Amino acid sequence: MILSQGVRDLTQQLLSFGFVGILATLVNAVVYHLIMLTGDFSSLMSNFFAFCLAFTVSLFGQFFWTFSAERRRLDSIGTALLRFLLVSLLGLVINSFLAFTVVDYMLLPHLYYIALMIFFTPLVLFTGNKLWVFKS
């Protein structure tokens, strides 16, 4: 079966998004976990610190690799960067809500939150990046 160029491009994009996303998520999860182990910060503050580092990984990977073809066709890089920040902040809001709900409200171990962060939030972020941030 021969796949169309569009299907191949989307598949490649999903794979690179997944790779960068896994790397950023690992940074997020490890930093969050390490901060939580200190016992010095709340789940929300730990999540924010972890987000900042993961955002940097994601920005460089997604902007310069995953969506590089779309980035080159954009009218305004500034607009794309602002949109990327907004979509990433949506991810922060989702993860903060999940962290608060699971760790602070339900009083479950923070590893339950990490599982949700790994599997749920990336779906939202890919959709936002594909359909809004890098829409050419």
For the chain, 136 residues long, the average pLDDT of each consecutive 10-residue run is 78 89 90 92 89 91 84 74 91 91 93 86 86 81
**CB distance 64 to 131 below 8 Å:** no
Q: Which two tokens stand for residue 105?
A: 């409200």
Q: Assign 60 to helix, strand or coil.
A: helix
* Alpha-carbon distances of 8 from 16, 28, 88, 107, 117, rounded to whole Å: 12, 29, 26, 44, 28
Strands (E), 20-99: none
pTM, two decimal places: 0.73
| Residue closest to 83 by CA, chosen among 96, 95, 70 | 70
Determine the structural domain holding residue 118 and report its residue range.
5-133
Total number of domains constituting the chain = 1
